[in-house]
Amino acid sequence: MSETLLERPRTKPQPVISRLRRFIRQHGWSYAFVLPSMSTFAIFVLLPVIWSFIISFQKYSLARGGTWVGLQNYYDAFTTQSGVFVIAIRNTVYYTAITVTANIFIALILSSLIQPLNKYAQTFFRAAYYLPAVTSVVIIAITWRWLLSADQHGLFNYVRGLVGLPPVRWLADPRIALESIILSTVLTVPATGVVLFSAAMGSIPKEYYEAAEIDGAGAIRKWWNITLPLIKSTTLYLVVLYTIASFEVFEKILLMTPSGVGNAT
């Protein structure tokens, strides 16, 4: 038997061209369908990111082109006398830490409250909570700028005036300008979080809750020991999603505090 195996002729390796043709026959249409999407991504996302990284090592001008300066731009960003870049990073981290935590907590609470409702009520609240996600950031920012206006026309100061309190310069005082913007973000319902948390909670088998009730667990205990552990993957996804969104915030800050309030925002 061993002699027969040793005497059997070996199969010649297929040429590269033949393997490539077989691969195209098997998977060609699959790649053809994703080609438009991948081409768009490469042209409008990937290439600009690569080009931005390259010119970050240059002293670049649209008129004169670029001159290679190595790490000088990065050094200047962190050591410049005004320190604007470092201040911006610090403010962004502060903004992100508070808004991401608040958005996750608020989305968890709202999703837990609408979960016991019937499917029609759940659909209504999901749609209502998702409205901010389809509303322009510019419109939301302008609305909050009016609500936090420093004069009596702003809703917050108008309410304070009704009870005899003086107006507050919400977006003009460097001490509270960033906190006012954070407040506006926190008070805007985290639409994506509510929808995803609600869907994740709806996929948890009812038998887990029924078994917990037999053991005498209350609503809080079931929420803590069953709901939260089984939606950890959704929570992690939302933390990453909201963190990225917080680091990309720009339009809202620019529209609400165009002057930067002494670099406070």
Residue 10 — very low, low, confident or very high, per pLDDT cuts 50/70/90? Answer: low
Exposed, middle or buried, 255 (CB in 10 Å: 0-12/13-18/19+)? middle
The pLDDT, as a whole number, for residue 9 is 55
Q: Is 7 part of a structural domain of the chain?
A: no
User: Do 38 and 94 belong together in one domain?
Assistant: no
User: Do 44 and 167 belong together in one domain?
Assistant: no
DSSP states of 145-175: HHHT-SSTTSHHHHHHHHTTPPP--TTT-TT
Distances 228 to 58, 98, 101, 216 between C-alpha atoms, Å: 48, 21, 15, 18
Report pLDDT digits (tens) over 210-245.
898 888 888 889 889 999 999 999 999 999 999 999
Q: Is 3 part of a structural domain of the chain?
A: no
Q: What stretches of 53-136 adopt beta strand conformation (E)?
A: 58-61, 65-68
Count of beta carbons in the 10 Å neighbourhood of residue 218: 10
Exposed, middle or buried, 29 (CB in 10 Å: 0-12/13-18/19+)? exposed
User: Do 168 and 49 belong together in one domain?
Assistant: no
Residue 262 — very low, low, confident or very high, per pLDDT cuts 50/70/90? Answer: confident
User: Do 64 and 87 belong together in one domain?
Assistant: no
CA–CA distance, 136 with 75 (Å, rounded to integer) = 37
The pLDDT, as a whole number, for residue 11 is 55
Q: Which domain holds residue 232?
A: 80-256
State which of 21, 52, 75 marks the end of a domain.
75
User: Do 59 and 89 belong together in one domain?
Assistant: no
Closest to 107 measured CA to CA, from 134, 125, 123: 125
Domain count, the chain: 2
- Token pair in block for residue 69: 């300066």
The pLDDT, as a whole number, for residue 189 is 84
User: Do 230 and 128 belong together in one domain?
Assistant: yes
Closest to 152 measured CA to CA, from 141, 143, 164: 164
Q: Is 6 part of a structural domain of the chain?
A: no
The pLDDT, as a whole number, for residue 3 is 52
The CATH number of residue 126's host domain is: 1.10.3720.10
Strand-pair category, 65-68 with 58-61? antiparallel
Residue 12 — very low, low, confident or very high, per pLDDT cuts 50/70/90? Answer: low
| Residue found by looking up tokens 């920012």 in the block | 141
pLDDT at 44 over 80: yes
Report pLDDT digits (tens) over 146-193.
999 887 778 999 998 889 888 899 999 999 999 999 999 999 888 899
Report pLDDT digits (tens) over 108-137.
999 999 988 888 998 898 888 888 788 888
Residue 18 — very low, low, confident or very high, per pLDDT cuts 50/70/90? Answer: confident
